[in-house]
Each structure stands twice: as C-alpha cells, then as structure tokens.
Amino acid sequence: MNRREFIAASAAALTLPTVGLSVEARNIFRERGYYLCFMRMPTFGLDGWREILDGAAADGANTIILWAGGAFRSKKFPITWQWAKDHENVKADFGRELIAHAHRRGIKVLLGFTPFGYDGVNQYPLEHPELKATGKDGKPVNEFGIGCWGWNLCPAKTESQRFMREYAREMTFEFYPEADGLFIESSDYAICHCAECGPKFFDHEFAFVRAISDEVWVWKPDATVVVYPHYFSGAKLRFSFTEATASKQPFDPRWTLIFTPHSAALEPALIAKARGAWWWNEAPCRFDVANIRAGVKKARDAKCSGYVPSLECYSYVPVKTEFGEPWLVGKRQIPFGFGWLKDGANPHRELPVRAIRLAYRELTANPDLPDAELRTELGRELFGADWQPAQVDDLFELFRVFNTDRDWSVPGALTTPGLVRNRSERGKLDPKKRAQLREQLDRVRAIAARHRDATSDGGKELHRIAQWLADQWTPENAALLNAP
C-alpha cells in the first residue's frame, strides 16, 4: 500500500467507526442470540450442540433460549418424555454439560417451556384427561402439536397448577441448576374456554408464572425470567385458533418481556418498566435477510434491549399430519431441508445458515448498514477476497429455494421431490407452482454449473448444495414440474 492508498484507507475507516471493534462492542443490543428448539432436535447430541453454541458465540450471541420442555428425563413426570424416548438428551442427559459449555463461550442459557401447553406438558392429560382445556364449543380441546402432540391444560384446575410448578421446578432446580433463568413461552394457539377460564384464562396462567418466578429469584436473584405481555396489558390477543383478552396483573420490573409478530404486539409502556424487552421473529430460520433487518430495526425503535429471533430447525419424526402435509408423517424432519447432512450433524455450519448468521451479526451491529455493504461483507467472509457479486446473488437464490413453501415442519419444496409428488397427487400443485419450481430447478442447475470449478470454500459449497438440489430431480421427478 502506498502513502496515498494508506490515507484513503484510513479516511474510509474513519467513516466506518465499527471496524476493528469486537462483535460485543459493536452490537446495539444488550441481549442477542437465538431461540432454539432443543426438544424438537432428538438426533443432536452434545458434540453437535457444542458446535452450534460455538457458532452462536462467533455471531456475538450472549443469550440462547434452549426450549427444553419435554426433552429431559423427568423423574416426577415420566409421561412428559415418552414421546421423546429417542431424544439424545432423554437418553444421556447432557444438558448440564451443554450449559457449562455455553458459559465458557459467554452465553447465558434460558430454559424454555410453555405453561399448560406444548411439548412435554401437553402429555400430562394422557394420565389426567380431566385436566384438558375446554374449547370454544364447550368440549375438551382437540389434540394439537408440532412434533409432540397432546392437549393444553386448563390452568384453573389445582392439579394443573401443581403439575406445572413441580415440572418447572424439577427442570430448573434439579436437572439444570446452572441455567441462567427461564423462558416462559405463553401458548400462541389456544386458551381454555371453561367457566372458570375464558376472559380470566391469563389470570390463572399468571398464578403459575408469578409463583415460579418468585421461586427462581429466591434461588438466583439475578436470574432472567422472560414472560409474555399477556398478563399485564389488558390487550386483545389474536392467536392461530382463537381470540383472548390479556389480564391486568401488576408488573414486576424484574421480568424481561418478549414480543412477537404473531402473538404479542410491542407495548412501549411495559417495555419502559421492564428489566429487559426482546423482539422475536422467524426471519433467520426462514433465510429472510430483509426481515432480520426489519426485526433489528423494530427492536431498536421500540427500545428493546434484545433481538432473540428463531433459528430453530427440527429432526423429529412426525406422528400426525402437520401443516396439511400427510406425506411427511413417519419421515424424519430434516433440519432446514439440508438432506445431505448426517443425522445430528450441525446444520449451522452449512453455507446458507452461516450466511444468515453473518447477516444477523452484521445487522445487529448496524441495522442501517446499506445492502451493498452487507453483500460485500457476506461476499468477503464466505467467498474470500476475490468474491464476486454473482456468488452472493446465487447465495440469495438458495435462500429463496430453501424457503419456498416452507412451514415450521415443512421443508422447502425443491429439497423434497416426494413431497411435491404427493401434492401433485392430491391436486395441490397448480400450473403456477409447477412453473415456479421448474424455474427454480433451472436456476439451481445453472448455479451448480457456474461453480463447478470453484476454488474458494464458499464457492465449492455453492456448487455442492446446488448440485445436491439438482440431483434430487431425476428425470422422473422433474417430469412432475412439466405443465399438466
């Protein structure tokens, strides 16, 4: 570098005040990290999890929501894990070692579960059917789940409260006492409509939340306890299956709040009182860079102290039709649709997730980073100093492919021709969809060809992944995409 270049480079560096600072110092949030579905990843053992945490630490994460309900070998309530006997943590309880590893990486771990519902908890009615919540029609609720199918409980019943307290206590104080707190995820799909619940549903749920929070703070006064705003605001809530009214309980400023796009709107008055407030969305696990940026901005503008979005993926075997896809029943879920990975191998290391993690790292440092600079950053880190804009374009094309027709337990269409065939057989593959997938297949074939002789690691990965996608579409499969 000559003197003129040196001065130019120094001047450029001055306009980029974040250069050279650690991820920690650059980040605009006090709490940052990911929401991860430990319970729905039965094939992942300690080694895979260690790698995932190492990656998160490299992204500047200091907080992980480890959704643990249903995925530990409860002694008091063995019914909660019968659905998950093949879960590595149920087989060889490694949660404590995992938390110790997180601490070595500067990451706090919050144990996630849902009061009166979802994984683990929703199995209790198998032994106590009388505790099932009541639906709008006055009858016991139907079975529901993602991976773990069961029934949410009526929180007005004494036995439901006792069960929740003891289950949460056992997880927190006996199994994972080194955890840094709790993530109490209020159910986002249903409430109980019995005579005692209805408009008072969240008062009953709150009784548990208040009690377990107090116990946790006696045990560890500095513990983080994350709760939903439903207990405090009196707001109208709209969930997937129902509507509900939030209650108006007194707010304890030791709580950290979490807000989501689908079940908990931001509430500035509450945020101002809370120890912390987090925004969540699903952008990272949907490979959606624009919405990572939008999420960061939303969190910043609402004065949230954290942005802890979902990077969840699943590896369980569905026992029922989920999200309208019967073909997936009995077939192991494939994390992010990355069908080339061995069971339990870390998917966060694969190019698309690595890129999303980089986007998270950069945008939580600077949500106003222009797109062109973000692309430069991605290009340089993933494809090396000689990166080409076309490589980043191809990367974004893979994002679109992996997210097409995605749902929580439904992989991107192009990753799974069998699923597309089944949709076709059920009359659910219209000409427009065929054309879209045909176009995607053409593009991934072109990407595979374009990077055949790649020399950078990122370029080789582009080739490998695009080639894998192309290879799924044998002539017989590809014929599915022809116009009928």
| d(C-alpha 251, C-alpha 43), whole Å | 39
CB of 249 to Zn ion, least distance (A): 17
Q: Does 191 bind Zn ion (CB under 5 A)?
A: no
| d(C-alpha 257, C-alpha 273), whole Å | 10
Closest by CA position to 166, among listed 89, 68, 75? 75
Q: Using CA of residue 315, residue 320, residue 325, residue 330, what is the dihedral sign?
A: positive
CB of 156 to Zn ion, least distance (A): 4
- Among residues 173 and 241, whose Cβ is nearest to Zn ion? 241
Only one of the segments 193-201, 379-387, 418-426, 427-435 lies at the binding site for Zn ion (rule: CB under 5 A); that segment is 193-201
Closest by CA position to 328, among listed 343, 339, 340, 317? 317
Site for Zn ion in 427-456 (CB under 5 A): none
| d(C-alpha 364, C-alpha 359), whole Å | 8
Listed in sequence order, the residues at least 6 apart from 359 whose beta carbon sits closer than 8 Å to its beta carbon are 289, 292, 293, 374, 378
CB of 191 to Zn ion, least distance (A): 8
- Among residues 191 and 469, whose Cβ is nearest to Zn ion? 191
Interface with Zn ion (CB under 5 A), residue from 61, 192, 226, 481: 192
Closest by CA position to 182, among listed 152, 153, 149, 210? 210
CB of 178 to Zn ion, least distance (A): 35
The CA-based angle 461-417-406, given to 5 degrees, is 75
Closest by CA position to 147, among listed 54, 69, 47? 69
| d(C-alpha 392, C-alpha 349), whole Å | 17
- Among residues 202 and 473, whose Cβ is nearest to Zn ion? 202
Q: Does 469 bind Zn ion (CB under 5 A)?
A: no
DSSP-based three-state secondary structure for 111: strand
Is residue 411 within 8 A of residue 419, CB to CB? The reply is yes
Query: Binders of Zn ion: how many residues, by CB under 5 A?
Result: 5
CB of 423 to Zn ion, least distance (A): 38
Site for Zn ion in 135-164 (CB under 5 A): 154, 156
CB of 35 to Zn ion, least distance (A): 28
- Among residues 90 and 141, whose Cβ is nearest to Zn ion? 141
Annotate each residue in 330-359 with x if it binds Zn ion (CB under 5 A) or - if it does not, as one string: ------------------------------
- First-residue to last-residue Cα distance in the chain: 61
| d(C-alpha 278, C-alpha 226), whole Å | 9
Read off the DSSP letter of residue 282: S
CB of 186 to Zn ion, least distance (A): 15
Q: Using CA of residue 43, residue 338, residue 454, residue 389, what is the dihedral sign?
A: negative
- Among residues 153 and 359, whose Cβ is nearest to Zn ion? 153
Interface with Zn ion (CB under 5 A), residue from 194, 277, 313, 398: 194
Only one of the segments 21-29, 94-102, 108-116, 189-197 lies at the binding site for Zn ion (rule: CB under 5 A); that segment is 189-197
| d(C-alpha 39, C-alpha 404), whole Å | 25
CB of 236 to Zn ion, least distance (A): 19
Query: Whose structure tokens read 């002789």?
Result: 453
- Among residues 190 and 212, whose Cβ is nearest to Zn ion? 190
Is residue 367 within 8 A of residue 398, CB to CB? The reply is no
CB of 123 to Zn ion, least distance (A): 18
- Among residues 249 and 436, whose Cβ is nearest to Zn ion? 249
In this structure, the chain runs to a length of: 484
Closest by CA position to 158, among listed 131, 129, 187? 131
- Among residues 197 and 353, whose Cβ is nearest to Zn ion? 197
- Among residues 190 and 420, whose Cβ is nearest to Zn ion? 190
CB of 245 to Zn ion, least distance (A): 14
Only one of the segments 3-11, 43-51, 197-205, 349-357 lies at the binding site for Zn ion (rule: CB under 5 A); that segment is 197-205
Is residue 173 within 8 A of residue 222, CB to CB? The reply is no
CB of 200 to Zn ion, least distance (A): 9
CB atoms within 10 A of CB 42: 26
Closest by CA position to 446, among listed 380, 483, 403, 397? 397
CB of 150 to Zn ion, least distance (A): 16
The CA-based angle 51-34-147, given to 5 degrees, is 85
Is residue 227 within 8 A of residue 256, CB to CB? The reply is yes
Read off the DSSP letter of residue 372: H
CB of 203 to Zn ion, least distance (A): 11
- Among residues 194 and 392, whose Cβ is nearest to Zn ion? 194
Q: Does 197 bind Zn ion (CB under 5 A)?
A: yes
Applying CB under 5 A, the residues found at the interface with Zn ion are 154, 156, 192, 194, 197
